[in-house]
């Protein structure tokens, strides 16, 4: 597609919203994503993946799709886990870029705008919270997790599980091995190890307004530890035999928009 000199090239994005029993959060989440995308003049779709919810999550998702042609819905036959839901969204994506956010309504529209505003400045746009609204113990666990991954995998990220955007063609070639919420940091790590450049954007999340978190808890420390070990062996050890020259990455200061 030809553009006028100095014009911004047309972009397209598939934005995945994963949700399991989020009847109190899905509507405002999708409304925030839609509002952040609708005014940009891009081709876009919002893919809601309902991971076997037992509440009204699926009904709410279908209602969105019925009134908005940009919204598509996939219902998992039962609760298969965040990894399977996220991967299904990547499989269904048809646009140039892929974005992801959990359907828990903790990422407001200004935060999504801050991420989308940086699209095109690097292969990946990652995000991290400038203020973490969670309890002190959760913040400590999260920070320890980031330090562990940075040390083992030789990167310097501020956060691994925030909303993000990346190139669809690269993501569709990856074959993650982690289960549950561990698939989110694995995808980021695999994209970086595949040579994708990135920038990090600081955002201001908010507290949950309904439901409880379904991400890993301190009680799952053994599962998380085993998952990290498997990733280390697959990416860092076995990856030495598969990896070409690593491409450099860049990290730039964020726009404080959220």
Q: Could you give all domains of the chain from N- to C-terminal order, each with its CATH number?
A: 12-241 (3.90.550.10)
pLDDT at 248: 46
Mean of pLDDT values over 151-162:
96
Which residues is 97 bridged to in the sheet?
A: 13, 167
pLDDT at 8: 46
Judged against a pLDDT cut of 90, whether residue 26 lies above it is answered with yes
Higher pLDDT, 149 or 134: 149
What are 148-153's contacts with CB under 8 Å, separation 24+?
148/228, 149/185, 149/189, 149/228, 152/228, 152/232, 152/236, 153/189, 153/193, 153/231, 153/232, 153/235, 153/236
Angstrom distance (rounded) from CA 133 to CA 27: 21
Mean of pLDDT values over 71-90:
97
Compute the mean pLDDT over every residue in the chain, rounded to the nearest whole number: 87
Angstrom distance (rounded) from CA 67 to CA 49: 17
For residues 94 and 45, the answer to whether their CB atoms sit within 8 Å is yes
Angstrom distance (rounded) from CA 256 to CA 258: 6
Give residue 51's pLDDT band: very low, low, confident or very high (50, 70, 90): very high
For residues 25 and 210, the answer to whether their CB atoms sit within 8 Å is yes
Stated pTM of the model: 0.86
Give residue 131's pLDDT band: very low, low, confident or very high (50, 70, 90): confident
List C-alpha distances in Å: 211 to 14, 81, 189, 219.
Answer: 26, 17, 29, 19
């Amino acid at each position: 597609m030809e553009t006028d000199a100095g014009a911004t090239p047309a972009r397209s994005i598939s934005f995945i919203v994963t949700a399991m029993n989020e009847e109190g959060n899905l509507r405002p989440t999708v409304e925030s994503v839609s509002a952040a995308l609708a005014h940009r003049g891009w081709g876009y779709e919002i893919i809601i993946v309902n991971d076997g919810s037992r509440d009204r999550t699926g009904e709410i998702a279908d209602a969105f799709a019925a009134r908005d042609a940009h919204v598509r819905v996939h219902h998992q036959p039962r609760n298969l886990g965040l990894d399977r839901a996220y991967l299904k969204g990547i499989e269904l994506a048809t646009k140039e870029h892929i974005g992801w956010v959990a359907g828990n309504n903790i990422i407001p529209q200004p935060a999504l705008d801050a991420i989308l505003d940086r699209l095109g400045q690097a292969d990946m746009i990652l995000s991290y919270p400038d203020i973490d609204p969670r309890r002190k113990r959760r913040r400590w666990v999260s920070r320890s997790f980031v330090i562990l991954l940075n040390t083992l995998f030789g990167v310097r990220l501020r956060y691994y599980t925030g909303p993000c955007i990346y190139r669809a063609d690269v993501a569709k070639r990856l074959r993650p091995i982690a289960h549950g919420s561990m698939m989110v940091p694995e995808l980021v790590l695999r994209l970086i190890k595949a040579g994708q450049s990135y920038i990090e954007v600081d955002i201001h999340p908010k507290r949950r307004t309904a439901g409880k978190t379904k991400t890993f808890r301190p009680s799952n420390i053994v599962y998380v530890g085993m998952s990290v070990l498997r990733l280390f062996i697959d990416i860092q050890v076995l990856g030495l035999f598969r990896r070409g020259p690593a491409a450099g990455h860049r990290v730039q200061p964020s726009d404080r928009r959220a």
